[in-house]
Amino acid sequence: MNDYTKIIFSQKLLVYQKVYDLLLLVYPLINKIPKFHKQVLGKYILEIGIYLLILIVKANKERSLARRDLQQEISDNLDYLRILIRLAKDLRFISVKNYLTVAEKINEIGRMLSSWMKA
């Protein structure tokens, strides 16, 4: 494995770790959402977050054009997550401070994903 391959491989694992850490951050925030909304909005946020982890693992294993498709699906789901987190903030289910923390982490993941897609 050459140095460039090592960097790309570690970057893929880093994207997985960042999404995992994001879920650890978001999970307690979801628990603070009122019960009815937690069953709808909170459920979608968590499902998308978990699905992102699954997609990253799948994309990491692919070596063909299917990887690009999976990477695009990861990007799309990250956008969905970004929208749902903003909705939770606008509905005042999460604080602006927590929103800014989560939004920055999502943006960081997006930047990492973008460079992974270019590699």
Asked if residue 8 has pLDDT above 80, the reply is: no
Asked if residue 5 has pLDDT above 50, the reply is: no
- In tens, the pLDDT along 31-86 reads 999 999 999 999 999 999 999 999 999 999 898 889 999 999 999 999 999 999 99
Cβ of 58: how many Cβ atoms within 10 Å?
14
- Three-state DSSP class for residue 33: coil
Contact 68, 97 (CB under 8 A): no
Domains (range + CATH), the chain? 3-118 (1.20.1440.60)
Taking the mean position of all CA atoms in its chain, how far away is CA 70?
13
**What tokens does 77 get?**
């789901």
- In tens, the pLDDT along 87-119 reads 999 999 999 999 999 999 999 999 999 999 887
pLDDT above 70: percentage of residues in the chain: 90
Q: Measuring CA to CA, which residue among 48, 26, 39 is closest to residue 94?
A: 26
Average pLDDT of every residue of the chain: 91
Counting Cα atoms < 13 Å in the Cβ hemisphere of 40 gives 6
